[in-house]
Amino acid sequence: MAAESIDVAVVGAGAAGVATCWALVERGLSVRVFDGGLGATSLAGGAIDDRPWEELARAATTLRVEPLARPVGAEAARFVAALGLHRLGDEGASMPRVATPMGRFRIARGHDRALLDLSRLADGARVLVPRVPRAEWDADALARAWSADDYARARGFELVSMDAELTMHLGEARIASADLAALHDDDARVRWLGARLLELVAREGRADALLLGPWLGATHARAEALTQQVGVPVGEAMGEVGGAAGLRFEAARSRLFERIAVSLEREQVHAAHLDDAKVELTCESGATLRARAVVLAIGGVASGGIVFDPPERHAGRDAPSGVRAPFRTSLAAPVTLAAAGRVFDVGSSLFGPALEREAWPTDADPGLLECVGVACRGARVGARLFAAGDVIADRPRTFLEAASSGIVAADAVLGALRGR
Amino acid sequence: MTSPGEPVPRVSGRLASASAAETCDVDLVVIGGGVNGTGVARDATLRGLRVALFERNDLAFGASGNSSGMIHGGPRYLSADPEVTYTSCKDSGHIQSIAPHLLFRIPFLLPVPQAKRRIFPLMDAFFEAYDRYQPLKRGKPHARLTGEELVQLEPGLRGELYGGITFDEWGIDGGRLCVANAVDAHEEGARLFVGSTVEAIEHEGGVVRAVRYRDRGTGVGGRITTPRVVNATGAWAPLTASLGQLPPVHARVRPGKGIHVVFDRRLSNYAIMSETIDGRTIFIEPWQNVSVIGTTDDDYYGDLDDVVATSEEVRYLVEGVARVFPAVREARIIGTFAGVRPTLYEYGKLEDALSREHAIVEHAATDGVTGLYSMLGGKLASYRLFAEEMVDLLMRDRLGRPGAPSTTHLRALPGGDRELDALRFARDHGIDAIAARRLVYRHGARAERIGERMKRRASEARTVCVCEPVLEAEVRHVVEHEFARTVDDVARRTRLGLGACGGMRCAARCGAIVAEGRGHAPEVAAMDSLRFLTQKARTRVCALGPIEARQEAIAIASLRSQAGIPTRSRLAVVGEWAAGNTAVVNAAVGNSAAAASVSVDERGAQDGG
């Protein structure tokens, strides 16, 4: 089978991959993108950051100031607008606040439009948290925890749980939250929900906002429609891993790709062979693709782009067959892995690293699982090989940072293809 | 030191203290909430003593809750220490009759490789000898198997197998056993101080007077007068002795660390014996709804409150089991646990060769302090007998003659008095049959009390932990009636959060329920659940495979996204910065993230790249 040929192949369709594609198309290059399955972006809960928010929050607490939204690069902001999924906080204004299932109101640089932004409520707002018979939604405990959050206290918010009938069938208590969200893709169902919420507001007398679980649509965020119908802001709390926010990202991604005429291949890429003139990708199905350059946007360990694969795993009854680095990329490619500023060489254990020391973040270190990735300069890994997003070693794992790195990669690719 | 059965040395001053004892707050202080401590507290309470028990961490925090989870007869001890095998088997039988709900049968397979075919008859004879002890604990006699039969029973076995032997043991949840003893003691009038550490054992003129203690949660201290103190603190025993100004070596143990590796499901039908590279016997056992590999035995010099397995120990065990059952290499490990055995002290012996006997130190004889005793050594399987011996001694010392005999082998532990049909329970309460089965396993007939809660408040029938599963009513029950104060304590009693998801789905909710039940603020709940999640992560990360590593990375990302990882701030210096405006905040954060290879401002990053 004769291999097709295009300008750039992008491997991975998370925040970094999609941003790379968008920026490459903006630069007039032809693109093919591969999606090998769920990555960190598809698993995330709907809040997006530029810097790790916990560091901002900690600094803000220490200094007793309200953190304000930093500027986002112009092109990154245009990308976010093109994707159409998130609302960014206004530059220089107070940052958005979203509710987390761990009972906090956390700052975010932006958020999925379905999420309720509590920074936009007036001081002393009364927020209703309806009881819904679902395992992830203990409205009483959540309302209690949110009420006790520092931000809620500072703003004088009152979070109140109350009975409500927001599900139609008994089985909806047990289905996955993403499936419940998908039910709200139906307009009639959303109107029904809006009517129930209206009743609730009427019964409660005073309501300044309604905070629900991550159930408001799988393809579109239905929060805005509900807000219009009910007359007060209606929105979601962040979801757990693998919830509706990830589905909405995938839907927004499909819409964007359709608009910019990029075709998404739902296939895992097994290998990237490079020579002086081209890159050749081999897919799971055996199909091959020729490109002038390739961008790896396969994500880190959480996405499966970096695989922890110590030699002891495949040893059977015998000792491991030889020493090698305990991590590899999910596709075979000429890359070097690094973590915490150190390149993985051959290793000094036949079995694997002392994970109890290195795997989880500690006071001193970010933790191997978070920082391991491909060693590169900017976006450049090799002559025709580039990287974007979480696959890059030692970078903060935030959405906006991943998107920006995709834009950087697009520029680097353009430079390389023009023979700079 | 006295071994069981030896005459107890008489100490002068006993009668003098007897009258003073009348005015004491309690008749006995037990230090340690393991199986020995709770066993003594229960036995002594049932014999009419006023008892207070102090536990520094949590019930079953140490060796009792981190054992292999068996009350086995110990065929291992049969040739060197047949007395241990006899007492273990006999007391196993008693435990079985007082807590039948907590026991489950674990049939063992001992594969015999071709290389050992010559000694097969010898092994057969050995287990024939062990068969004689089996009726004591209602065990089945052993069976001989051919190589083909062996593989038929356990298709995952590999290697050149000549044949095999089956034998019968009982599994138990050590945590539940301690809790059951503690609850029974408490209901009969004992005072329990869980989470309170003893700071000093006061004695005056060679007689114990009181203990001073401090609640480690609130920091509030107290003093309780008592004529007798039993040090049942396992591996902590020498530390505890020093709190009475005694030389620690007078309650010396040989602390032996043992770790276990937990898999996400039952990997085999039988427990399978294997040998490590240094010839030690280890096994993989199906235990409750998981499989467990155990165990190591290494001298331990570390922190007893913080014992965790290392990658290296995990590999040692996995390598050992992979010899006969290679599937363990590819199976998914969901955690490890570690504890320290309080083995009787001997210098110069290999860990495995140490005696599993138990002994009582009377500090009247060794240190001239009347009323102070240390319980050393022992096994889960014979804890009840050890406790009985301890209380016999206390009664003799108190009365000068044997007191009322122990009834702990006759009286059922809470929930063990009658059988409850789990399926009917599930139907009656409209809950999942598996949830009901697990609930009845843990609580026996007392599951009915949890059922009544759900009848009163239907919302308590909601599932908190999906993996185990655990219902809200059970969490509330263990907080209100079983001395659980944290998510970790709830996990120890219900196995909440110990399944494949590592508590990611349930810790926050459980923390909220615990805080509500104990009248704590929600931020206490958040801290408690975060602590649980990060602590449990530490027990998992030493045993990662490809899937586990990815799950762990997702867990870290998810925690970061929703709660922030509770590490000490790398921005501690920020407080010294004078200005209080946002620009400084951002500069500070920018500084800390200086390692970032790409900045949010893509133009700036290009320059940097």
B395-436 confidence digits (pLDDT tens): 999 989 888 999 999 999 999 999 999 999 999 999 999 999
CB contact under 8 A, A412 and B534: no
Residue B580: its pLDDT value, please? 32
Parent domain of B132: 100-170+254-352
The number of folded domains in chain A is 2
Choice between B454 and A54, residue whose per-residue pLDDT is larger: B454
Place of tokens 């004892």: B21
User: C-alpha angle B56/B60/B66, rounded to 5°?
Assistant: 125
Residues A13 and A62 in one domain: no
Taking only residues 177 to 196 of chain A, the set having a beta carbon closer than 8 angstroms to any beta carbon of chain B reads none
CATH number, domain with residue A19:
3.50.50.60
Residues A70 and A175 in one domain: yes
B218: contact with A, CB 8 A cutoff = no
Parent domain of A241: 43-247
Taking only residues 555 to 594 of chain B, the set having a beta carbon closer than 8 angstroms to any beta carbon of chain A reads 556-558, 560-565, 567-571, 574-575, 577, 580-582, 584-586, 588-590, 592-593
CB contact under 8 A, B549 and A60: no
Distances (CA, A) of A162 to A129, A191, A206, A208, A215: 7, 21, 13, 15, 18
Domain assignment present for residue A88? The answer is: yes
Backbone angles phi, psi at B568, to 5 degrees: -65, 140
Give the pLDDT band of residue B22 (cuts 50, 70, 90): low
CB contact under 8 A, B598 and A353: no
| Min distance B234 CA to chain A CA atoms (Å) | 26
CB contact under 8 A, B550 and A341: no
Residues B502 and B532 in one domain: yes
| Min distance A17 CA to chain B CA atoms (Å) | 15
Domain assignment present for residue A261? The answer is: no
Domain assignment present for residue A259? The answer is: no
Final residue belonging to a domain, choices B543, B569, B596? B543
Write out the DSSP string of A347-415: -S-SS---HHHHSS--SS---HHHH-EE--BTTBSSSSEEE-GGGBTT----HHHHHHHHHHHHHHHHH
Interface test with A, best of B157, B468, B597 (most A CBs within 10 A): B597
Residues B127 and B188 in one domain: no
Choice between B596 and A417, residue whose per-residue pLDDT is larger: A417
In this structure, are strands B196-204 and B207-215 parallel, antiparallel, or unpaired?
antiparallel
Residues B247 and B259 in one domain: no
Query: Counting every residue, how long is chain B?
Result: 609
CB contact under 8 A, A52 and B605: no
Residues B537 and B451 in one domain: yes
Domain assignment present for residue A61? The answer is: yes
Domain assignment present for residue A375? The answer is: yes
| Mean local confidence (pLDDT), B510-531 | 90
Residues A240 and A275 in one domain: no
Closest CA to B371 of B56, B20, B47: B20
Taking only residues 278 to 337 of chain B, the set having a beta carbon closer than 8 angstroms to any beta carbon of chain A reads 308-312, 315, 318-319, 322-323, 326, 329-330
Residues B361 and B346 in one domain: no
Final residue belonging to a domain, choices B543, B574, B599? B543
Which range among A143-147, A307-311, B2-6 shows the weakest confidence by mean pLDDT? B2-6
Give the pLDDT band of residue A315 (cuts 50, 70, 90): confident
Task: Give the Cα separation of B481 and B237 in Å (integer).
Answer: 28
Q: Give chain A positions within 8 Å (CB) of B593.
A: 51-52, 55, 396
Closest CA to A110 of A125, A99, A96, A120: A96
A133: contact with B, CB 8 A cutoff = yes
Distances (CA, A) of A131 to A173, A235, B100, B124: 11, 15, 40, 63
Q: In one letter, which amino acid is B307?
A: V
Residue A28: its pLDDT value, please? 96
Interface test with B, best of A356, A371, A374 (most B CBs within 10 A): A356
Residues B456 and B308 in one domain: no
Comparing CB atoms, the residue among B556, B570, B584 nearest residue A370 is B556
Q: Give chain A positions within 8 Å (CB) of B589.
A: 51, 55-56, 59
Domain assignment present for residue A252? The answer is: no
Q: Is B104 exposed, middle or buried (0-12, 13-18, 19+ CB in 10 A)?
A: middle
Domain assignment present for residue B59? The answer is: yes
CATH number, domain with residue B148:
3.30.9.10
User: H or E segment at A212?
Assistant: strand A209-212
Q: Give chain B positions within 8 Å (CB) of A356.
A: 308-311, 538, 541-542
Give the pLDDT band of residue B459 (cuts 50, 70, 90): confident
Domain assignment present for residue B601? The answer is: no
Domain assignment present for residue B566? The answer is: no
Q: Give chain A positions within 8 Å (CB) of B542.
A: 354-356
Give the pLDDT band of residue B214 (cuts 50, 70, 90): very high
Domain assignment present for residue A141? The answer is: yes
Task: Give the Cα separation of A416 and A408 in Å (integer).
Answer: 12
CB pairs under 8 A between A and B: 268
B467: contact with A, CB 8 A cutoff = no
CB contact under 8 A, B521 and A362: no
Q: Give chain B positions within 8 Å (CB) of A101.
A: 508, 562
Domain assignment present for residue B434? The answer is: yes
A55: contact with B, CB 8 A cutoff = yes
Domain assignment present for residue B333? The answer is: yes
Contact B463, B471 (CB under 8 A): yes
Residues A331 and A350 in one domain: yes
Residue A395: its pLDDT value, please? 83
CB contact under 8 A, B549 and A50: no
B82: contact with A, CB 8 A cutoff = no
Residues A15 and A95 in one domain: no
In this structure, are strands A337-339 and A373-374 parallel, antiparallel, or unpaired?
antiparallel
Residues B291 and B366 in one domain: no
Distances (CA, A) of A251 to A39, A155, A217, A260: 14, 35, 11, 15
Residues A173 and A221 in one domain: yes
What sign does the dihedral A240-A243-A244-A246 (CA atoms) show? positive
Q: Give chain A positions within 8 Å (CB) of B601.
A: 71-73, 404
Residue B12: its pLDDT value, please? 39
Residue B11: its pLDDT value, please? 39
Q: In one letter, which amino acid is B96?
A: Q
Contact B468, B498 (CB under 8 A): yes
Residue A319: its pLDDT value, please? 73
- Per cent of chain B over pLDDT 70 is 89
A347: contact with B, CB 8 A cutoff = no
The number of folded domains in chain B is 3
CATH number, domain with residue B58:
3.50.50.60
Domain assignment present for residue B74? The answer is: no
Domain assignment present for residue B192? The answer is: yes
Interface test with B, best of A22, A48, A50, A62 (most B CBs within 10 A): A62
Domain assignment present for residue A257? The answer is: no
| Min distance B71 CA to chain A CA atoms (Å) | 30
Choice between A352 and A244, residue whose per-residue pLDDT is larger: A244
Q: Give chain B positions within 8 Å (CB) of A381.
A: none
User: Residue A251 CA to chain centroid, in angstroms?
Assistant: 13
Residues B160 and B261 in one domain: yes
The interface predicted TM-score of the complex, written ipTM, equals 0.92
Residues B436 and B527 in one domain: yes
Backbone angles phi, psi at B537, to 5 degrees: -60, -40
Taking only residues 365 to 384 of chain B, the set having a beta carbon closer than 8 angstroms to any beta carbon of chain A reads none
Residues A141 and A15 in one domain: no
Residues A15 and A85 in one domain: no
Final residue belonging to a domain, choices B516, B543, B570? B543
Contact A326, A347 (CB under 8 A): yes
Residue A3: its pLDDT value, please? 55
Residues A25 and A105 in one domain: no
Residue A344: its pLDDT value, please? 82
Q: Which residues contact A296 (CB under 8 A, 6 or more apart)?
A: A11, A12, A272, A305, A329, A331, A333, A335, A374, A381, A385, A386, A387, A388, A391
- A304 → chain B, closest CA residue: B550
Tokens read off for A100: 């987390």
Q: Looking at the predicted structure, is the pLDDT value of residue B157 above 90? A: yes
User: Residue B588 CA to chain centroid, in angstroms?
Assistant: 44
- The b/e string for B117-139 (b: 16+ C-beta within 10 A; e otherwise) is eeeeeebeebbeebeebbebbeb
- The half-sphere exposure of A246 on its side-chain side, counting CA atoms within 13 A, is 21
Task: Give the Cα separation of B101 and B107 in Å (integer).
Answer: 18
Residues A207 and A282 in one domain: no
Q: Looking at the predicted structure, is the pLDDT value of residue B172 above 50? A: yes
Q: Looking at the predicted structure, is the pLDDT value of residue A13 above 90? A: yes
Residue A62: its pLDDT value, please? 85
Task: Give the Cα separation of B444 and B176 in Å (integer).
Answer: 11
| Min distance A2 CA to chain B CA atoms (Å) | 35
Contact B371, B89 (CB under 8 A): no
Final residue belonging to a domain, choices A247, A281, A314? A247
- Per cent of chain A over pLDDT 70 is 98
Residues A342 and A236 in one domain: no
CB contact under 8 A, A73 and B562: no
B309-348 confidence digits (pLDDT tens): 999 999 999 999 999 999 998 899 999 999 999 999 988 8
Tokens read off for A294: 């390739």
Residues A90 and A144 in one domain: yes
Tokens read off for B548: 């586990």
CB contact under 8 A, B556 and A361: yes
Interface test with A, best of B313, B321, B333, B562 (most A CBs within 10 A): B562
Contact A240, B505 (CB under 8 A): yes
Residues B242 and B376 in one domain: yes
